[in-house]
Structure formats: structure tokens, C-alpha cells
Structure 1
Amino acid sequence: MFSKTIERLNRPASMRIASLAKKLKAGGHDILDLTLGQPDLPVHYNIIESVHECLLSGKTGYTESQGILELREQISVYESEKWGYPISADQVLVSPGGKQAIYYALRTLVNPLDEVIIIEPCWLSYKELIEMVGGKAVILNTDPNKNFVVSIHEILAKITSKTKAIILNVPNNPTGSIYPSDTIKMLIRYSAAHQIFLIFDNIYDEIIFDDEKIEYSLEPLQCEKLIIVNGFSKSFSMTGFRVGYVISHEIIMEQMIKVHEQLATCTSIVSQYAALAALRIEKSYLEKRKEVFERRRDFVVNRCRELNIDLIVPQGGIYCLIDTRSINSSSVVAAEKILQHALVAVIPGVVYGISSEGYVRISLVGDEAILEEALKRISDLMELTL
């Protein structure tokens, strides 16, 4: 009756946790929710004001499908500075969120049974999006003892004659791991030389800790197979605006625009002007936001060590993986027990791949008082199960 492709898509185990948390909250329980991938920091006033001005000035219609030129020009400057090579406005497509941008890229590139390499643990939508376009997700598992980072040689070992693309998320969701600049440069050079597309999901790239910097410094010819996806949800707390973008060579862009025009026509004009306002905010604003998450990261790491909770120390992003094997070897069972007995909602690590089984993901989206209470409750439960 239904599409076989859609029937095969999985709903994540995290949905069960969310449903149980909702029931417990409705029953009057004090649930601490650490599942959200949504920054709790407020939206900058300039962004809010831009929405107000946009509506009052009557800007409520369609825009150019590829996106407002002024915004694409601003994005091209912003990303050129980071990547170290010139990106033009014609290489930018403004999309209704980063997830849509990844879909556009996959829909444009992947033919039936083409392989796309993903490195687990990873954002749970990658595999489903690959399968939605008829591709095959090739999983590269990682080791928590190596901070879930693999070498360039391990990545290349997964490549076959059917490999069409590789997806790399830096910093990674859920681990917070980043890759050395040299590894990234080698991967870009290899992909360009071997006709393999490299899709960078950089949605957390403004939240990298410990003064770490990823240096790209690329030559334009190295980037013909490079596709960059980014957005405003995490860096600017604009999750509900649904605005992101994808950058690629003009030949790829021409094809992605076709997909975008059929699915969305254009991205909301209000969201586009809000994104333009975001990019015009002084750079110190992003630095201050990063410092908030870094302080929370440091707090969680220090408290976990004091409470004898093992964890993976994130190098960036807004999440942290903690080891819950002392509660149960199954992260789904552990997450359910943490919710039922400690009244803390967390995401099972296995949602992101078998590599992170035995861990749960917590979000750094509450102040230190909330994080303190949540960790104390989890620690108390761990002591009871020993």
C-alpha cells in the first residue's frame, strides 16, 4: 500500500523516551530534559528586529529560488574566510534548514545502490536520508577509546567502486569529536582526485572548544567535489526559523537548485532576512556563545569525574556522551531507567550507531544548576545499581 522505501525507515528509540517523559511530566513528575538539540540561549535582538522590519515593510512573498542575493553574498564571505578559498554567491543555495540541504545534495548525487560512507556514531538522519534517495549507507564504526575518531586510512579502506560520497560531521553529533586539519585536507584531496563527493555537515563549527581551530587553506581545484552544509540553528539559536544553506561547485549547484525548486520553491523570506541579520552581528557574539557551552562542558566533565561517571570529553558541539554500562549494557534500557528512576531524560547512544552503545547523550542546554542536579540523580542511580 505504501512506498517500500518509506516503510523501511526507522523511527528512533529516542521517540519512546520522549513519549515516556511526556507521560511522566503530565503526571506531575519533575523531569529534567537533557535530550534537546536546541540551544537555550536567546535569539539576538537584531535577528528579532529584522523579522519585525521584514513584515512591516511587506516582504512576505517569494524570493529568488536560490536565495536572496544579499544573503548569499554574505554567506560566501563568511564561509570563504573559514575555508581559505574564494566562494561566490552563485555557489550558495539557501535551504529550509540544514537537513533539507543534506537531502538536496544526496538527491542530486546518488543513484540506486550508490554507496555513501558515514562514520558512526553520527546524526541519525544520515542513514535514513541516504536510503530515501535509493542509496546504500556504508557504516564505518569507531572506538570510544580513540574518542570516536578514525584515521584517513580507515576511511579510505571503506571506499569501493560504488562509493559516491562521504559524509563528515565536524564537530560530531553526538560525540563532540573533531578531526585534525591534516586528515580533513587529505580527505578533500583524495575525494577530488578519485571523483568522490565529500559532504561536510558543519552545523556546529562555531562551537569548538579549547582554542582548537580547523585550518583548511584549500585550492579551488581541490574543492570541485566538496559540498558544505551549514545553517543558523545551533550558532544563532534559530532552530524554528528553518534556514540553512549548501555550498558547492556551480555544476553541482545547478542540479541541486532543480531539487529545491520542486520541493520548496524558496526558503521563507522572513527567515532569510533573519539569517542576513545574524551574519551581520559582531563576531564577538559567536565567541561569547561558544564560551557559554565551553563552561558547561568543563562543568560537566569536572562533575562527572568527581562523581565517578565515565564520559567522552567533547571537543565541540552542545552534547556529551556518558558511560551508562553500570546501569545497563543496553543504552535504551539505561535511558529508560534513568528517566523512570532518576527523572532525567537522555538519548540512548545506540540511536547514533552501534559504536556508541553503552553510552547516553546529554545536551549542554541547561544552566549549571540543572546539569548539577541531573548528574547527581544519574550518579545516585548508578550507585544503587552497583
Structure 2
Amino acid sequence: MEHRINPQVKQLQISGIRQFFNMVTDEKDVLSLTIGQPDFPTPDHIKDSTKAAITQNKTSYTHNAGILPLREAIAHFYREKYHVSFEPTNEVIVTVGASQALDVTLRTILSPGDEVIIPGPVYPGYEPLIRLSGATPIHVDTREHQFKLTAELIEQAITENTKCVLIPYPSNPTGASLTKKELGDIAHLIYKHRLFMIADEIYSELVYTQSHHSIGQFDIIRDQTIIINGVSKSHAMTGFRVGYILAPHWLQKHMLKVHQYNVSCASSISQQAAYEALTTGKNDAHPMRDAYQKRRDFVYQKLQELNLASYLPDGAFYYFIDVRHLQQDSFSIAIDLVKQAKVALVPGSAFSAYGEGFLRLSYAYHLDTLAEGLNRMETFLKKP
């Protein structure tokens, strides 16, 4: 019967990140710097609010779009932090993580034959969702542009089939961010070609040397813009599975139908926790961000000592390390590191063909762990 299932599903592969992580899980004494998950616990006040929600029997279905206080908190959070305005009553949807938010968005706007422009290298979760919608991802090589998808690069990739552009900044796997001017140039291009703009801003609270700029602040494309975010990275709440969509009302009402038939609503308990996170805990990310910056700087110094070229990340918690000089494919290098040095990094090929020749190192780990992992890498690189 397998031949009768959706051929798009049959062609999908498990994420290269997870494939590699699962492959090395059974290796003994391996120090892993692979997974992009905060190593901080969820703040206590959020955990307390979660317990209270259960005790108070807030365990029923909610409005399909999410409880109104949470949608109001999301709208206020974006106005205060990023100068972006969406109406909580009809322009916000609470989702089961940012991944479901992306799925709902893409299934709402895409039709078979459409094309979606995305940067390369890029997080591997976008391409499968685009293909499941019958559309085609168009990767644009950003390696010679500091891993930034610029207006010029986008314009070169636009065809008559282009439906939307997806910008995921700060970026996984590169840590790159876009400036306000760069976003403005993109906004005018999107307006000119009447395209949809999807901005995945899940790392928006983890930006170091500049404030995060959202493309949602450009009114010229307000009716074309969809913003995806959530509390997983900003509040160390990956297991709560709360994301959200900000979109103009004319589009949100159609997204809500897809969301409704997909999951009905996000977990009522997790929504209460997210409300606490975005109100009382609206600045919870700051101490985590400061710790990540110290780790970023520590890793950068060590990489420089090892003569490993890497773009200095503006945000998120990843280094994308250039290992092309080793003259092996990234998967083979990653395997050798596991077998010979007992340290695991993700091969760049997991992030599209444009990630080949790189390794992704996550610095969402304690400084002691990072130091040991880098020492093991140094031993490997200096071996005869």
C-alpha cells in the first residue's frame, strides 16, 4: 500500500540535523554541540503560572486563535519591542510552536507551481513544508554576502511563478541579521512585485550588537507581510510549543481556517504560560542573551586561534564554520570529529547545498562544555 501515499511525503527526508544527532547518539563519550535549544531552564515564574493554570482548571478548548489576553500580550510585545502594530482580535493566531505557524502560513498562501525564495544556507524545516504545499523552494546563494538575503539577490531570483519571499533572521545556521536599511530595500522590492513576505523572527530577542529590526515596521507592505515568532528561544520554552502568527486581517481569517482544522487551538495550559512570559517576563531573554554573547565571544576567539574562518554572529546561538580548506565534504568531516575527537557538530550540508563545506556549532551550551569541545577540535585539527 505504500505506493498509494502522497508522493511528496515519500520524498521527504528527516532533517539533516536530526539525522546526524540520532546517528551519533549511541557513540560513547561524545560531547555534542549540535542542538539549537537553550540550556537555561524555563524561568520559575512561568513554571509557577503553568501550575496555577492547571490548579485553576484552565484546561478546556480555547478560541481557535488563542485566548484574547495572550493575543493582546503578543500584539503589545511587538508594538513595544519592534514598533510593529497588529490587532489582537483579528490579526494574531496562537499556534503550536513556530513550526505549525509556518505550516499554516504556507498552506494558506501557496498553490501547486508557486515558487518561494529562501536563502541558502538555511534551516532545513522550510523546504519540506513548501514542497508539501505543492510549491518549489528557490534557494539563493548568500555565502558571498555575509549570509544575507539582499534585495539585489532576491530580484535576480524572481520569476513569474514567485509567490513569496521567506526571510529567517536572525539566522539558523549562520547567526546573520539584517539591518533596517537592508530590510527597507527588501520591503520596496516586495511591494513592487506584489509578493508575500514571510519573516521568521523566532530569534528576535537574541540579537547582540544592534536591536532587532522587523520588516513588519514597513507600512508599505503591511498587507503582504506575515510574521512568525514564539516563546521557545526567547524564554527557554521549547517544550511548551507556543508560537504565533501576525498577519493582516484579510489574510488572517483564511489562515485561521487552516489552523482550526489542523489543531483546533494551542494547548490552553501552554497559552497561560506564554501569557506570563510575554507580560511579567517580557525581558526574560536579556540575561540569557548576555550569557550567549559571552559564549559567542569566547568561541570566536578560539576559532580565530584555530584559523577557522567564521562570520561573527549578530544573533541566535550558532557559528557556521568554514572547513572547505580541509578538502572533504562536511558530512565526512563531522563523522571524523565524532569518531576521532569525540565532539559532534552538524554538517553544513544539512542546511541545503549551499551549506556544504561548513559545520554548524551551537553555543547554547555552558562555557565549560564549549571549552572542552573546542579543545577536542583543536587536537583533531593539529593531528599529523
> If the length of structure 1 is used for normalisation, what is the TM-score?
0.94
Q: Deviations over 1:80-135 (max 9, x none)?
A: 23442421102000000001101111100001011110111111011111000100
Conserved 8 A contact 1:327-1:382: no
Contact 1:98 / 1:245 at 8 angstroms: preserved in 2?
yes
- The 8 Å contact of residues 47 and 278 in structure 1, kept in 2 or not, is answered as yes
Name the SS of the counterpart of 2:245 in structure 1: strand
2:348 maps to amino acid: G
2:141 alignment counterpart: 141
Q: For 1:245, what is the secondary structure of its paired residue?
A: strand
**Matched residue, 1:199:** 198
**Structure 1, unaligned stretches of length 5 or more?**
none
Aligned amino acid, residue 25 of structure 2:
K
CA distance, structure 1, for counterparts of residue 373 and residue 109 of structure 2 = 43
Is the counterpart of residue 186 in structure 1 residue 185 in structure 2?
Answer: yes
Say whether 1:377 aligns with 2:380: no
Contact 2:147 2:174 in 1 (8 A): yes
Q: Which amino acid aligns with 2:111?
A: N
Match of 1:115 in 2: 115
Q: Distance in 2 between matches of 1:54 and 1:283?
A: 19
How much does 1:186 deviate?
2.3
**Residue 35 of structure 1 contacts residue 361 of structure 1 at CA under 8 Å; is this kept in 2?**
yes
Q: What is the deviation of 1:194?
A: 2.5
**What is the 5 A alignment of 1:222-371?**
222-371=221-370
How far apart, CA to CA, are the structure 1 residues paired with 2:46 and 2:164?
35
Aligned twin of 1:99: 99
**Pairwise CA distance, 1:189:** 2.9
What letter corresponds to residue 177 of structure 1 in structure 2? A
Shift of 1:328: 4.6
**Are 2:7 and 1:4 aligned?**
yes
Structure-2 change in CA distance of 1:22 and 1:242 (3 Å): same
Cα distance in 2 between the residues matched to 1:344 and 1:219:
44
Unmatched segments (≥5 aa) in structure 2: none
Deviates more, 1:306-315 or 1:106-115: 306-315
State the Cα distance separating 1:304 from its structure 2 match.
1.3
Give the 3 Å change call, closer, same or farther, for CA 22–213 of structure 1 in structure 2: closer
> RMSD of the alignment, in Å?
1.7
Specify whether residues 285 and 85 from structure 1 end up closer, same or farther in structure 2 by C-alpha distance, changes over 3 A only: closer
Q: Structure 1 pair 219/255, CA: closer, same or farther in 2 (3 Å)?
A: same
Report the secondary structure of 1:75's partner residue: helix
What is the DSSP-based 3-state SS (H/G/I as helix, E as strand, rest coil) of the residue aligned with 1:281? Answer: coil
Matches of 1:283 and 1:125, distance apart in 2:
27
Letter in 1 for 2:132: M
On the 8 A contact 1:86/1:220 being kept in 2, the answer is no
Report the count of equivalent residues: 380
Following the alignment from structure 2 to structure 1, what is the Cα–Cα distance between the partners of residues 55 and 353?
50
Contact 1:84 1:216 in 2 (8 A): no
8 Å contact from structure 1 (residues 13, 332) kept in 2: no
Q: 1:326 and 1:41 mapped to 2: Cα distance? A: 35
Distance in 1 of aligned mates of 2:216 and 2:334: 42
CA deviation after TM superposition for structure 1 residue 219, in Å: 5.2
Tell me which residue corresponds to 1:76. Answer: 75
Residue 26 of structure 2: aligned partner: 23
SS of structure 1 residue aligned to 2:157: coil
| Conservation of the 8 A alpha-carbon contact between 1:92 and 1:247 | yes
Bigger shift: residues 206-215 or 178-187: 206-215
CA drift at 1:285:
2.8
